Amino acid sequence: MVIAIDGPAASGKSTTAHMVSQTLGMVYMDSGLMYRGVAYALLKHQIECVDHRVEAFLPQMQLEVLSVDSIMNVYVDSSDVTSQLHTAQVTEVSSDVAKIPNVRQWLFKIQRTFSKQYGDDPGIVTVGRDMGTVVFPDATLKFFLTASIDVRAQRRVQEFRQKGININYQEVHEAIVHRDHQDIHRTIAPLKQAPDAILINTDDLTPEGQANIILSKVREQSQS
């Protein structure tokens, strides 16, 4: 079973998908972390993020994704870099990386391989922008999470505060507007709801509430 959850930045996808995968005993696959992994590798090797330079580097890029305790971890040059993929610099470069068609194609293969490994048994819960539209058009269930920009910016500020980082609300708000624009307007695999995806507005929902909606749909599906 593949459960695909797409939506814009900070819409609550990752936390929700994580809870759903744990409850169902499935593997969590975060495609955003793969784009972040590519960005990390480019920064590490000082490769400028322009199409031809990135494309020339792809054959040498050592990026692996593995399931560790049912959570996808990212390895660059054989080191686990998963915890280093949410810096402001990696976030910014990952958004540019995601516009390069050959990178999307390259990661598509990795995403499909990961799903071949775990999709049937125990199943995967995957998050991103194009999981339901491009990568897994035949996913068992598809969800599209949205929330207002204000709510998403508040959540991000909260997340940073919990990590002891004080960040300016306005800056976070602007960064989200910018990333939305990049995600929605890129020519290849733009962020959009798949026609058969269930829309969930998470403005007034807790992560548990979001996970419960998804879990109840999964139960309905398995009873039908």
**What residue ranges bind ligand DC (CB under 6 A)?**
9, 31-32, 35-36, 94-95, 98, 128-131, 179, 183
Phi, psi angle pair for 148, to nearest 5°: -65, 160
DSSP code at position 66: E
CA distance 206 to 31: 23
Question: Please, which residue, 103 or 214, has the CB nearer to ligand DC?
Answer: 103
Q: Tell me the closest approach of the beta carbon of residue 92 to ligand DC, in angstroms.
A: 9
Question: Please, which residue, 15 or 23, has the CB nearer to ligand DC?
Answer: 15
Q: Tell me the closest approach of the beta carbon of residue 32 to ligand DC, in angstroms.
A: 2
Q: Is 205 helix (H, G, I), strand (E, B) or coil?
A: coil
What is the per-residue burial (b if ≥16 Cβ within 10 Å, else e) of 204-215?
ebebeebbbbbb
User: For tokens 């307007």, what's the residue?
Assistant: 185
Helix 169-185 to helix 149-162 angle (10° resolution) is 120
Q: Tell me the closest approach of the beta carbon of residue 222 to ligand DC, in angstroms.
A: 26
Question: Please, which residue, 118 or 136, has the CB nearer to ligand DC?
Answer: 136
Q: Tell me the closest approach of the beta carbon of residue 26 to ligand DC, in angstroms.
A: 18
Question: Please, which residue, 126 or 214, has the CB nearer to ligand DC?
Answer: 126
